Amino acid sequence: MAPQALDGIRVLDLSRILAAPFASQLLGDLGADIIKVERPGVGDDARQYGPPFLTDMHGNATCDAGFFLSCNRNKRAITVNHAKPEGAAIIRELAAKSDVLIENFRGGVLAKYGLDYGSLRHVNSRLVYCSVTGYGQDGPYSGRPGYDGVFQAMSGMMSVSGLPGDGPGAGPIKVGVSMVDILTGLYAANAIQAALRHRDRTGEGQHIDMSLLDCGLAALSHYVQNYLISGIVPERRGNGGYGGVPSQTFRCADAEIFVVASTNKQFVALAQVLGRPDIPQDPRFCDVSTRIENRDALLIILEGEFAKRRADQWLLDLDEADVPASPINDVRTVFDNPQIRHRGMLASVDHAIAGEVPVLRNPIRMSATPIPDAAAPPTLGQDTIAILRDLLGRSDDEIASLRMEGVI
């Protein structure tokens, strides 16, 4: 098997729910050894975020929700009660043998057990310690709880999502996916790898302070930058955007499609497909800037043209004209897409209880360090004995005693 990019890196994963587990899953996909630490008998809260729940090979529901499966592949699992001194000691031992620790407890919680960065840096000075919280480690909101929807609202993301105006169906709307969680996980994984690079140069670990609110705001990107240089608050544009025009959905005779013709070349080609070569000659629509300035007038014309034919007819002609366009897939029809099938985005893993389970494949493709087939998300405590025995040198009697005392 070809080496993976993060072979030799061990990550101690104390996180739950989505943002931080997503970050550690990405590191695991890239070859890091992820040791997921969960509460005995309960586990990561995300295991309970169903239905739907995974079914075993006999069709019976398990205790693992699809939500949990989405962000916990390529991990080993151990159950440890960190609130017991013996449990905290086990986590400190694991941290001493790890390169990275990821956690998403509220600020100050782990310090009670000597598991904060200030404590663990004395155990392992090379440790990269990543804290993922709603608001960060400092500031007036640092002690508050929060979830993805709260941060979509607070960061401004909801304000630019949804239909414009105040009519029926209009108003701010949450992005369907837990987008701030996903983005924070991506930022965190990126930061961890940068910190490892620094550690390898200097020998020094460091603390990474990731805030969901910060990441949600940063994700607004050009929306915020446009505001900063103009003072104009972005309005909601439904399925339209703030780049070139057009870039949005259009209702055809039978269904909606998404079309982008943001360059002059694409726009001329679009006009030819629509049978309206006159449109690019109109001074209001002759270049990128004038089309943005006269967006509303242009969209009225385009909407009238698209309504004349079926979606599949338009998509065929747009493809031949090299104009980017797509049907509006759902999560069922997306897997019928020939490009998705060719890229192998639907994979499967061999689960300890359920057998073969379909999963999404990591989209990263690397020529020298390819990502191999994934290991299934672990059952609760699946690797507890192996980790304690093989990594920490605990005897069978010691492990039995820890189990009786409720430490594991």
Q: Which residues are catalytic?
A: 181
55, with CB counted inside 10 A (0-12, 13-18, 19+), is middle
Q: How far apart are CA 26 and CA 83, in angstroms?
A: 28
Cβ neighbours of 311 (radius 10 Å): 19
Cβ neighbours of 236 (radius 10 Å): 17
At residue 46, what are phi and psi to the nearest 5 degrees? -65, -20
Cα-based angle 324, 326, 329 (whole degrees, multiple of 5): 155
Q: How far apart are CA 264 and CA 262, in angstroms?
A: 7
Cβ neighbours of 112 (radius 10 Å): 12
How far is CA 59 from each of CA 67, 69, 298, 359, rounded to the nearest angstrom?
A: 19, 17, 54, 18
Q: How far apart are CA 26 and CA 362, in angstroms?
A: 8
Q: How far apart are CA 54 and CA 60, in angstroms?
A: 8
Q: The tokens of 29 are what?
A: 């996909």
Q: Which residues pair with 209 in a beta bridge?
A: 131
